[in-house]
């Protein structure tokens, strides 16, 4: 069974076609980079996958099911989305407790997760004062809280410093080794080249390349290959 699949996904906002006809299968147990220029439709496709936006047509499947047909979606897929946030008046721990309650997960994982994302010291601080990197780490903790088998990450490296980015790379590789399926979007191509197994590149709502990283880039760097593909259009 494939973990993530887009089937002829189309999403139109008024008269703007954000995703035009996306069909792609994401291989299980691998890290797939979801790449494309600004406005290519990455976040839109991920929101459709996660049941937050309604596709104009087509379907998105997780473990062969649409999001709305998963009993406990939070236990199967964890997500970091660029437009999601935390209640700033509450502490990091309180925010995670709410997420645990909503997903019917035991609170006991909160401490170990805060440690994993290196936020133990800030656990009882209000998230209002959090830096961008701290918020991003907390978002990763929230995505991992139910130990899901699938991770959907929209620009998780946003706001992380170089140490954070290296830490994230190791974390993702580690999670993939545990057999998790990871779909991650990013604009940091040099970083992605060191992280991902496969790539899916989209532009203006359409797929322009997909497959194993090595096959797509050949002897070029990911950045060179990406620029060549996007400019060809």
Ligand X SMILES: Nc1ncnc2c1ncn2[C@@H]1O[C@H](COP(=O)(O)OP(=O)(O)OP(=O)(O)O)[C@@H](O)[C@H]1O
Task: Enumerate binding residues for ligand X (CB under 6 A).
Answer: 13, 16, 18, 36, 38-44
CB of 157 closer than 8 Å to CB of 85 = no
Nearer to ligand X, 16 or 132 (CB): 16
Binding partner of residue 17 among Mg ion, other proteins, ligand X, none, CB cut-off 5 to 8 Å per kind: none
Q: Does 50 bind other proteins (CB under 8 A)?
A: yes
Q: Does 104 bind other proteins (CB under 8 A)?
A: yes
CA–CA separation, 196 and 136 (whole Å): 20
Instruction: Give the list of residues 6+ apart from residue 79 with CB closer than 8 angstroms, or none.
Output: 46, 50, 143, 151, 152, 153, 154
Nearer to ligand X, 74 or 205 (CB): 205
Strand partners, 62: 4, 65
- Report which secondary-structure segment, H or E, holds 224: helix 222-232
Q: Does 81 bind other proteins (CB under 8 A)?
A: yes
Select the span of 24-32, 87-95, 179-187, 201-209 touching other proteins (CB under 8 A): 87-95
CB of 201 closer than 8 Å to CB of 170 = no
Size of the site for other proteins (CB under 8 A): 34
Q: Does 43 bind Mg ion (CB under 5 A)?
A: yes
CB of 110 closer than 8 Å to CB of 147 = no
Smallest distance from the beta carbon of 131 to Mg ion, in angstroms?
21
Instruction: Give the list of residues 6+ apart from residue 37 with CB closer than 8 angstroms, or none.
Output: 203, 230
- Give the residues lining the site for Mg ion (CB under 5 A): 43
- Give the residues lining the site for other proteins (CB under 8 A): 47, 50-54, 67-74, 79, 81, 83-90, 94-95, 97-99, 101-104, 142
């Amino acid at each position: 069974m494939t973990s993530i699949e887009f089937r002829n996904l189309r999403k139109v906002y008024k008269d703007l076609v954000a995703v035009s006809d996306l069909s792609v299968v994401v291989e299980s147990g691998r890290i797939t980079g979801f790449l494309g220029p600004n406005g290519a439709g990455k976040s839109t496709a991920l929101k459709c996958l996660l049941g937050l936006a309604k596709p104009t047509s087509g379907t998105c499947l997780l473990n062969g099911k649409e999001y709305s047909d998963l009993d406990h979606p939070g236990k199967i897929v964890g997500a970091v989305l660029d437009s999601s946030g935390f209640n700033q008046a509450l502490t990091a721990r309180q925010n995670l407790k709410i997420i645990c309650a909503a997903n019917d997960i035991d609170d006991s994982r909160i401490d170990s997760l805060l440690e994993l994302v290196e936020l133990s010291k800030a656990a009882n601080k209000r998230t209002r004062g959090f830096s961008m990197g701290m918020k991003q780490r907390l978002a990763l903790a929230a995505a991992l809280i139910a130990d899901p088998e699938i991770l959907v990450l929209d620009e998780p490296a946003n706001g992380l410093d170089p140490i954070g980015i290296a830490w994230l790379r190791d974390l993702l590789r580690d999670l993939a080794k545990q057999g998790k399926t990871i779909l991650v979007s990013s604009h940091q191509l040099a970083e992605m080249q060191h992280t991902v197994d496969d790539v899916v590149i989209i532009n203006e709502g359409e797929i322009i390349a997909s497959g194993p990283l090595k096959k797509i880039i050949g002897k070029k760097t990911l950045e060179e290959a990406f620029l060549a593909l996007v400019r060809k259009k």
